[in-house]
Structure 1
Amino acid sequence: MTVTALCHGEGCRGDGRARRRTAPGSRLCRACREHFGAGLAELAHLYEECGRILGGAAPGSLRERTTGGDFPGLPFNAGAADVRARMVSVLGSWSGLVVQERGFASPPRTVAALAAFLIRNADWLAAHPAAAEASEEMARLVRAGRRAAFPDPTRTVRLGTCPEAGCSGGLSLAVRDGSRAEGPSIVCDAAPDHRWGSERWSELSRSMENGAAAGAGAPVAVPTERWLAAADIARLWHAPVGTVYRLASEEGWRRRNRSGRTYYSETDVRACFSRRAARR
């Protein structure tokens, strides 16, 4: 039985947004329920990213780690430490609610274990009278984790050679963490009028791999494989970061690790999202 007609999830509250109808048996709409689960999945990864900063890694960087402990004189990152403590506290509190009301055994008090426990009980939480508070608090915690783990508001992701005929420029994606870019976001560094919205990436990527210019046929040299971070995949395919991590695990995407960070095969990612789009 549907608990209420209108969703009270974080994605349907404030800013004059029209609230969507709830999913059957839930106090959240399908979109807010999906974002709730994706946020829980992302928190474990954000916790590790904040830990990298405390361990001496530059925020969002690929700097090589060294042996022998922390870097001398490295300032203590109070923001990252505070967010990590809040993650344990908030996830522990919601897990305690589940344990108390459902009679389950308590999970280990680690962010990974607590998040996994809550993911398994996410449908129950989404139908609970406190679903709105759970949705809002997890979204707030994810935003805080992103700010602490990736404080640089803008990054540039190199994507490959421009597919336009006769152009030898390189394509880049300007990523602004925590916000949606407005207008075209994939731009050629040699010809600024060669630009596309990020939703065109799958099409552009195929054109680059085939060595063809868009609409023509001039061969271009392209890398045999591109490797993308989870945040970049989320930006290019307009998916929650938590969904990216889930799909990477379920679909067995090829991966590479650089300085403690994971990068995924763009070929595997594109094939996965193409299959999902075809099913829809």
Structure 2
Amino acid sequence: MRTELTTRTCVAVGCGRDPEGGEPQPRPADPGSLLCRPCRNGVHHRLGRLPQLYRASDGLLNAQSKQVERVSGGRNIGIPLNSGAVEARANVRGFLAAWAQLVVDERSVSAPDRTVPAMAEFLLRHRNWIDRHPAVGEFANELFRAFSRIQRLETAVPIRRITVSRCPEDGCPGELEAVLRPQDSRAGSLIRCTHTKEHTWPTERWSSLRPPRRASASLTS
């Protein structure tokens, strides 16, 4: 199937979007593609990173958060699952499986294994054909949504809060609360006052504070 590409503009949803809220001005499609160069590169980059993000989300399946559901069956003890992580991962698998099957059907090629890395690699091998497919705009839109959803899981880490003592600042009625985040979290751990937000201490200054008055701990997200 041959498609006339010479006078087309990019078919990706939101291409050339005005950050001020004006009407989008789609860029010209790249030669040999129905996508412009930036959108085309964005599609290939996100497709290549999906397996990495999918693997990274493994540890969030049982993370304690506000989105925890309890799944059980029979007499088994319920397993706490992070519904956001479950849904984001299912969205990635569904996206890859659907488009891999389209390539298999239309190109008469062998199907990849039904794993996220295998399906993503398969679509990358056929990326030039996909870039010219009439449905590539839909492909790009679904990919961007699936990518954004699973990428947001990186910041959905559990946070432990512990009340440790009274605020040492003169006249402050607040208490000190330790906010403990995982070591690989973008936002570091700190101690802060529950009354005055300017009263904060980084981890390296914790030893200079008063000894803990009590240690009532809770888990939040």
| TM-score range for the pair, normalised by the shorter chain length | 0.5 to 0.7
| Partner of residue 28, structure 2 | 21
Q: 1:21: Cα distance to partner?
A: 0.3
* Structure 2 unaligned spans of 5+: 66-76, 158-185, 188-221
Q: Which has the higher helix share?
A: 1
Say whether the 8 Å CA contact 2:11–2:137 is kept in structure 1. yes
Secondary structure in 2 aligned to 1:17?
coil
* C-alpha deviation, 1:8, in angstroms: 1.3
* Structure 2 match to 1:135: 140
Distance 1:48 1:19, change over 3 A: same
Is the counterpart of residue 84 in structure 1 residue 89 in structure 2? yes
The alignment status of 1:8 with 2:11, answered yes or no, reads yes
Question: What is the SS of the residue equivalent to 1:94?
Answer: helix
With over 3 angstroms needed to count, the CA separation of the structure-2 counterparts of 1:27 and 1:117, relative to structure 1, is same
Q: Contact (CA 8 Å) 1:41, 1:116: kept in 2 or not?
A: yes
Q: In the alignment, does 2:130 pair up with 1:125?
A: yes
> Is the CA contact (8 Å cut-off) linking 2:62 and 2:81 kept in structure 1?
no
Shift of residue 146 of structure 1?
0.9
Q: Deviations over 1:73-128 (max 9, x none)?
A: 98421111111111111100000000000111000000000000001111111100
Match of 2:61 among 51, 54, 61: 54
Name 2:40's counterpart in structure 1: 33
1:1-280 → structure 2 map (5 Å cutoff): 2=5, 4-10=7-13, 12=15, 14=17, 15=21, 16-54=23-61, 75-151=80-156
Amino acid at match of 1:7: C
Distance 1:106 1:27, change over 3 A: same
| Cα separation, 2, equivalents of 1:43 and 1:87 | 8
TM-score normalized by the length of structure 2: 0.58
Please say if residues 16 and 27 of structure 2, whose CA atoms lie closer than 8 Å, have aligned partners that are also in contact. Answer: no
Give 2:117's aligned amino acid: A
Q: Which position in structure 2 is the counterpart of 1:251?
A: none
Mark the structure with the bigger radius of gyration. Answer: 2
Number of residues of Structure 1 aligned to a counterpart in Structure 2: 142
CA contact (8 A) 2:51 2:120 kept: yes
Assess if the C-alpha contact under 8 Å between 1:11 and 1:32 holds in 2.
Answer: no
Identity within the alignment, %:
35
Matched residue type, 1:5: R
Deviation at 1:17, TM superposition (A): 2.9
What SS class does the counterpart of residue 81 from structure 2 fall into? coil
Q: Residues 44 and 112 of structure 1 are in contact (CA less than 8 Å); yes or no, is this contact kept in structure 2? A: yes
Contact 1:4 1:27 in 2 (8 A): no
On the 8 A contact 1:3/1:27 being kept in 2, the answer is no
Confirm or deny: 8 A CA contact 1:8 1:132 kept in the other structure.
yes
CA RMSD of aligned residues (A): 2.7
Query: For 1:53 and 1:35, how far apart are their aligned partners in 2?
Result: 26
Aligned partners of 1:151, 1:113: CA distance in 2, in Å?
Answer: 27
**Counterpart residue type for residue 122 of structure 2:** F
